[in-house]
Chains A and B, each alone.
Chain A
Amino acid sequence: MIGFLAFSVRRGWQGFWRNAVMSIAATITMMLMLLLLAGLVIGLSGLQAGLRFVEQKVEIQAFIADGTPKDRIDALAAQVGAQPEVAIVTYVDKETALAEWREQLREQGRTDYTTATGINPIPASLRVKLRDPRVYGQVVETLQAATGVVTDVLETQRVVDALLGVTGFMRTAGIIVMLLVGVTVLFIVVNTIRVAVMARGEEIEIMRLVGASDAFIRWPFIVEGVLVGLLGAAATLLILAVAAAPLGQVVATLVGQVPIEFDRNLAVELAVAIVGTGVILGGLGAFVSVRTYLIR
């Protein structure tokens, strides 16, 4: 068994370098495909992060009539909070709401007239965050039913629905594009490795004639394919590492204010995905390519 493994690895390594031009062509193909995949993953993941940000902003705001006793507000908050669709209910009193309002004005560089009038025109409110921004349940109805407490419910449902429709479509489209690219990658890699295997058809024929078992014929090529995958993945990671900083700046300039927070594990996940995809594609490509020579 150890002899067989050593044989496969040695022959795979030799095979890779014997036809170096072909092997490097296969490796570069693999690298380009992995870069394309990585680009898609990063793009999609950025999109996801952006969408998550937007979705988090979705909340229902119920304005409270001035002078409502605190216990009635608490009761309403508890009633709404008990509904299964609701994640959290926050009470924002008049002072906090005013402070937020002033903060917003300052950020936008507009004049704050509230200091001049000396009264606080901003109502207190209940802010309801939903577990899933698409599922409202009876939340809005409950809030509207509390006449005397709630003056108005901010109706964002239609806007949110439209937005979620768009984001859902983008997610699905992104996944479909990624699948299509994945299949294309597999075909191209299989084809490239098949050419490399075909160049060694004579050797395979001799192996069959002298009585080599299928495993002895197949595994050196699989090792060679995995080697192509590993080298392609290494080159891809190198390019991504070098390009990460300048690309990050470009993205920051383009996107600007929207805080797209990438998953902190994205780099690790991406590296694992690239190496894994490379190895699997290379090995699978070689497996499929040699198969045609073995089945007779």
Chain B
Amino acid sequence: MALLGSPAVPEAPDLVDPRRVTVALLDVGKTYPNGRQALIDVDLVIPDGDFVFLVGPSGAGKSTLTKLLIRDELPTTGTVFVAGKDVTRLKRRDVPRLRRQIGTVFQDYKLLPTKTVLENVAFALEVTGTPGPQIRPAVSRVLELVGLTAQADQLPAQLSGGEQQRTAIARALVHDPRIIIADEPTGNLDPLISWEIIQLLLRINELGTTVLMATHNAEVVTAMRRRVVAMEDGRIVRDEVGGYHQEY
């Protein structure tokens, strides 16, 4: 990791083994069927344990990039490695196993309104065939980590926005993923609560999980002095530690 304040020197992709890092995108291009070029010549390496902000204006390609990582979309050109797997060559039936190594967090939380906090988190284990006796301890552990033990039996509608997002983070964590991908996790939250969420993600990162967070929140990004990958018009225009030089 580069020293604070000095520009990071991203390792040249052809020098690293893409299977040994959490995420590696090599010469990735994505053109949608309607002809729109969402990603152009994207190279990005995220080593284990990194905390990366992905910034850029709307339509810069941030969402497309995260969709490639969870194999919701396939690249038109290039290769994408996640957790040591080439997702472009992954068989359809192996996709679920890949997704269990990726925790996803979204702006709109994506919680099930009829399930309690505990049930929402347990759901992620139930639907992946985790044996019943293992579910309860795992859920308790992550709820404690995000500080929602007391709210375990409440429904999402009874929670604040920050608590709902923490529930979503707990759900993303419950599989012990290699990476958390958070797409605008603070987009619906006020500044104070946003800081809480960032603190939580930092803590998770300190415990060893790689975090990739796409955001518009310039204040947060500037203050954190972490690695920032900036995108514009489908290209990575900057990849360095520190500030958010331009307002988007």
Taking a contact as CB atoms under 8 Å apart, the answer to whether B128 and A213 are in contact is yes
List the B side residues contacting A213 at CB < 8 Å.
Answer: 93, 96, 128-129
List the A side residues contacting B93 at CB < 8 Å.
Answer: 213-214
A217 interfacial contact with B, CB 8 Å: yes
Interface of B is mostly: mixed
Q: Ordered nearest first, which 10 A-B pairs have the shortest CB separation?
A: A211-B99, A211-B100, A212-B127, A210-B124, A211-B96, A213-B96, A207-B127, A216-B127, A209-B104, A211-B128
B235 interfacial contact with A, CB 8 Å: no
Kindly report which residue of chain B lies nearest to residue A220, judged by CB atoms: B127
Taking a contact as CB atoms under 8 Å apart, the answer to whether B110 and A211 are in contact is no
List the A side residues contacting B131 at CB < 8 Å.
Answer: 3
User: CA of A123 to CA of B241 in the docked complex: distance in angstroms?
Assistant: 118
Interface positions, chain B 97-136, Cβ under 8 Å from A, are 97-100, 102, 104, 110, 112, 114, 123-124, 126-129, 131-132
Q: How far is the CB of A215 from chain B (nearest CB, A)?
A: 9
Q: How far is the CB of A197 from chain B (nearest CB, A)?
A: 15
For B58-93 the 0/1 string (1 means CB < 8 A from A) is 000000000000101000000000000000000011
List the B side residues contacting A209 at CB < 8 Å.
Answer: 70, 99, 104, 110
User: Which of A18, A208, A296 is within 8 Å of B99, CB to CB?
Assistant: A208
Q: How far is the CB of B42 from chain A (nearest CB, A)?
A: 21
A206 interfacial contact with B, CB 8 Å: yes
Interface of A is mostly: helix
Taking a contact as CB atoms under 8 Å apart, the answer to whether A216 and B129 are in contact is yes
User: CA of A207 to CA of B127 in the docked complex: distance in angstroms?
Assistant: 7
Kindly report which residue of chain A lies nearest to residue B92, judged by CB atoms: A214
User: CA of A4 to CA of B124 in the docked complex: distance in angstroms?
Assistant: 14
For A1-45 the 0/1 string (1 means CB < 8 A from B) is 001100100000000001000000000000000000000000000
User: Which of B92, B99, B100, B126 is within 8 Å of A7, CB to CB?
Assistant: B126
Taking a contact as CB atoms under 8 Å apart, the answer to whether B72 and A296 are in contact is yes
B175 interfacial contact with A, CB 8 Å: yes
Taking a contact as CB atoms under 8 Å apart, the answer to whether B112 and A217 are in contact is no
A216-B112 in contact given A210-B99, A210-B175, A211-B175 (Cβ < 8 Å): no
Among B96, B99, B102, B124, chain A packs the most CB atoms within 10 A around the CB of: B96
A202 interfacial contact with B, CB 8 Å: yes
User: CA of A189 to CA of B123 in the docked complex: distance in angstroms?
Assistant: 29
A203 interfacial contact with B, CB 8 Å: yes
List the A side residues contacting B123 at CB < 8 Å.
Answer: 206, 210
Kindly report which residue of chain B lies nearest to residue A206, judged by CB atoms: B110
Taking a contact as CB atoms under 8 Å apart, the answer to whether B100 and A210 are in contact is yes
Q: How far is the CB of A173 from chain B (nearest CB, A)?
A: 45
For A266-289 the 0/1 string (1 means CB < 8 A from B) is 000000000000000000000000
User: CA of A203 to CA of B92 in the docked complex: distance in angstroms?
Assistant: 20
Interface positions, chain A 206-256, Cβ under 8 Å from B, are 206-214, 216-217
